[in-house]
Amino acid sequence: MGNISFQETRVAIGKYMLADGMSLVIDLDKSHGSWLVDGNTGKEYLDLFSMFASMSIGYNHPYVLANKDRLTTAAINKPTNSDIYSPLMAEFVETMGRVAQPDYLPYSFFVSGGTLAVENALKTSFDWKVRYNMAKGKGEKGSQVLHLKQCFHGRSGYTLSLTDSPDSRKVQYYPKFDWPRVTNPSMIFPMNEENTAIVTALEEQSLTEIKEAIHNNADDIACIILEPIQGEGGDNHF
């Protein structure tokens, strides 16, 4: 353990930043698998959110512990990987390509965080659509993104306009783009005949709104973005 105790942790953090996190203080040494240990009480909690997926393999995974020396080398040296390559980077890229990339997506682009991944996907779409329109003599058009209601795609620049959070404070006073937002025809449970009919009608409504948005914006829609399951919007499945 470091120089600050579990009991002193919240006070120390609150002295220099807003300490409005959970009341427990994690014991990083004793937490294991999917069990998070509170350092103040020693109580174990079953972690069902896995730190918003940053701890998807759990705490102190045996493989990670067995390879901690090699991982430490990567952790304490942070080269600009786009410019300076290393065997460790090559191993990571090769593993991702072999395990996670389908044949129709042969190239990777690595960036830190989901929001920035969305931002770069949007920029790719804008770049392609504008160049396509210019080549067709239609001018510099292609800057809109079609998206669903109750969506969450991040809280940075472009993605602020693609987040329809139930908590308005998250996006309330920030400048945003007026991009087309359509009905999200999420499933209604139980999936009986009545609810299925409602969802079918919502799907038709959503398709109508999509077609109308494309008609009204002609060549200016660069892409459509959606989540297979909306989390922020209320655990909405499609």
pLDDT for the residue numbered 26: 98
Same domain, 224 and 138: yes
pTM for this predicted structure? 0.84
pLDDT, one tens digit per residue, over 177-236 is: 999 999 999 999 999 999 999 999 999 999 999 999 999 998 999 999 999 999 888 889
pLDDT for the residue numbered 1: 57
Same domain, 133 and 218: yes
- State phi, psi for 83 to the nearest 5 degrees: -115, -40
pLDDT category at 167 given cuts 50, 70, 90 is confident
Residue 89 counted as domain residue = no
- The rounded distance, in Å, linking the Cα atoms of 122 and 157 is 11
pLDDT category at 53 given cuts 50, 70, 90 is confident
pLDDT, one tens digit per residue, over 119-161 is: 999 999 999 999 999 999 999 999 999 999 999 999 999 999 9
- The rounded distance, in Å, linking the Cα atoms of 81 and 5 is 36
Cβ–Cβ < 8 Å for 36, 42? no
Structure tokens at 4: 């600050």
Question: What CATH number is attached to the domain comprising 18?
Answer: 3.90.1150.10
Same domain, 55 and 157: no
Number of helices followed by number of strands (H, E) in the chain: 6, 7
Same domain, 138 and 210: yes
State the alpha helices, DSSP H only, in the chain. 6-14, 62-66, 68-76, 87-99, 114-135, 193-217
Of 66, 82, 101, the one marking the end of a domain is 66
Residue 78 counted as domain residue = no
Give the list of residues 6+ apart from residue 41 with CB closer than 8 angstroms, or none.
24
Give me the number of domains the chain comprises: 2
Domain residues for 15? 6-66
pLDDT for the residue numbered 163: 94
Residue 54 counted as domain residue = yes
Residue (of 139, 159, 149) closest to 180 by Cα position: 149
Cβ–Cβ < 8 Å for 145, 221? yes
Residue 105 counted as domain residue = no
pLDDT, one tens digit per residue, over 80-120 is: 999 999 999 999 999 999 999 999 999 999 998 899 999 99
- State phi, psi for 44 to the nearest 5 degrees: -95, 140
Give the list of residues 6+ apart from residue 36 with CB closer than 8 angstroms, or none.
24, 26, 44, 45, 46, 47, 59
Residue 20 counted as domain residue = yes
pLDDT for the residue numbered 234: 83
Residue 26 counted as domain residue = yes
DSSP code of 23? S
Same domain, 135 and 39: no
Structure tokens at 72: 């430490």
CA angle 114, 96, 233 (to 5 degrees): 25
